[in-house]
Amino acid sequence: MPDKKSTPPHSIESALERLETIVSSIEETPPPLEILIDRYEEGVGLLKLCQEKLTAAEQRIEIISRNEGKEASLQPFTSSNMNGSY
CB 26 within 8 A of CB 39: yes
The most distant pair of C-alpha atoms in the chain lies apart, rounded to whole Å, by 59
- So what's the pLDDT on residue 76? 67
- So what's the pLDDT on residue 63? 79
CB 46 within 8 A of CB 7: no
Residue spans of the domains in the chain: they are 12-66
Return the CATH class of domain 12-66: mainly alpha
Q: Distance between CA 43 and CA 31 in Å, rounded? A: 15
- So what's the pLDDT on residue 35? 95
What's 33's DSSP letter? Answer: H
pLDDT in tens, the chain (86 residues): 445 555 667 899 999 999 999 999 999 999 999 999 999 999 999 999 999 999 999 988 887 776 555 665 566 666 555 544 44
Q: Distance between CA 31 and CA 37 in Å, rounded? A: 9
